[in-house]
């Protein structure tokens, strides 16, 4: 189980501090897929790199804790953290072509990932690589291919094989299907689901695509301007989205059988994180804005595990 507790990641730029992740808490239970959704710049990718402690300078984790089965990650040494990466928590990125070394055979890249953590012979690592390539549906005959010789979907499968090579407890997938077409997208998501069931790996799925998140996640977190504004079991959140931003996101999903022909879009644009709005960061775009929203940061209300940060629920769910 992964538990993120009040995590704050700030970028210290010359013209101010960007609070990319500002006090985010959630858990990723065992064997579950947790989806994080939000617009570009909402801090979801920073959060993903933050869990692996790979924030590039001038960014820094300024506060908060990350627990992986009781081990607190922010206090580990760099070398201890390196051992965690790949072995206990691994990551799949958005662009599979750029994430693979162009000059190394894909099989070698998997072998390398295994040998970085396990003290086994090269032959054994190669055997396991063949198995992994078969598992992810690329086929062992692709061991000697270079990344440019594979299709986008195959490359992402190779990335997943690398990420699954050490049977990690947590797999972070940062926009894993954004660069792929919808058919391949579905196959990749099915592969994630299959791997989760087979190896009991929990998946933290990050995407800007709420329909994808709804379809595949057990739990959903909604991020807005560096804050987690709503978190709940997937079913509850879809049935009754509480935060006005979540409601707007769901309303903006295009529907084939939809009545109105115009697509709904959320008015306004994401805020400038060096100078976020006072009070609730969503208030300039919120249709239910009240006076208090402009001045006070909303507290988090928890309704049987359905957490929301919005003043509308000060007196409970109406």
Contact positions toward another protein, by CB under 8 A? 52, 54, 56, 82-87, 90-91, 93, 95, 98-104, 112-113, 116-117, 159, 162-163, 165
Beta carbon of residue 86, minimum distance to another protein (angstroms, whole number): 3
Smaller CB separation from another protein, 113 or 249: 113
Alpha carbon distances (Å) from 3 to 18, 28, 66, 70, 286: 24, 6, 6, 9, 30
Beta carbon of residue 117, minimum distance to another protein (angstroms, whole number): 6
Spatial CB neighbours of 65, under 8 Å, sequence gap ≥ 6: 3, 4, 5, 6, 7, 72, 73, 74
> Which residues does residue 187 pair with via DSSP β-bridges, in sequence order?
none
Beta carbon of residue 92, minimum distance to another protein (angstroms, whole number): 9
Smaller CB separation from another protein, 166 or 249: 166
**What is the DSSP track for 203-262?**
EEEEES-HHHHHHH-SEEEEEETTEEEEEEEHHHHHHS--SHHHHHHHHTS--TT-SSSS
Beta carbon of residue 276, minimum distance to another protein (angstroms, whole number): 27
Of 59, 65, 64, nearest to 17 (Cα)? 59
Cα Rg, the chain, nearest whole Å: 20
Smaller CB separation from another protein, 83 or 240: 83
Smaller CB separation from another protein, 15 or 79: 79
Cis peptide before 288 (omega within 30 of 0): no
Smaller CB separation from another protein, 4 or 159: 159
Beta carbon of residue 149, minimum distance to another protein (angstroms, whole number): 16
């Amino acid at each position: 189980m992964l538990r993120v507790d009040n995590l704050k990641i700030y970028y210290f730029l010359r013209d101010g501090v960007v609070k990319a992740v500002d006090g985010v808490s959630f858990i990723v239970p065992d064997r579950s897929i947790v989806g994080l959704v939000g617009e570009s710049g909402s801090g979801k990718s920073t959060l993903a790199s933050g869990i692996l402690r790979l924030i590039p300078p001038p960014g820094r984790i300024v506060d908060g804790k990350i627990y992986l089965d009781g081990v607190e990650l922010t206090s580990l040494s760099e070398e201890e953290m390196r051992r965690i990466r790949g072995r206990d928590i691994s990551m799949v990125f958005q662009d599979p072509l750029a994430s693979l070394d162009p000059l190394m055979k894909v099989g070698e890249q998997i072998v390398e990932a295994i040998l970085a953590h396990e003290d086994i012979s090269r032959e054994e690592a190669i055997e396991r690589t063949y198995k992994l390539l078969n598992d992810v549906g690329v086929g062992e005959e692709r061991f000697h291919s270079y990344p440019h010789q594979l299709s986008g979907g195959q490359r992402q499968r190779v990335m997943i094989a690398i990420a699954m090579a050490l049977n990690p407890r947590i797999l972070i997938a940062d926009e894993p299907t954004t660069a792929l077409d919808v058919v391949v997208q579905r196959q990749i998501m099915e592969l994630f689901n299959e791997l989760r069931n087979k190896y009991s790996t929990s998946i933290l799925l990050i995407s800007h695509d709420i329909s994808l998140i709804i379809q595949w996640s057990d739990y959903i977190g909604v991020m807005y301007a560096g804050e987690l504004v709503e978190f709940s079991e997937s079913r509850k959140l879809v049935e009754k989205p509480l935060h006005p931003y979540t409601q707007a996101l769901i309303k903006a999903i295009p529907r084939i059988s939809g009545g109105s022909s115009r697509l709904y879009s959320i008015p306004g644009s994401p805020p400038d994180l060096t100078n976020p709005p006072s009070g609730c960061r969503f208030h300039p775009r919120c249709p239910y804005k009240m006076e208090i929203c402009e001045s006070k940061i909303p507290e988090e209300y928890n309704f049987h595990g359905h957490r929301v940060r919005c003043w509308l629920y000060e007196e409970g769910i109406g």
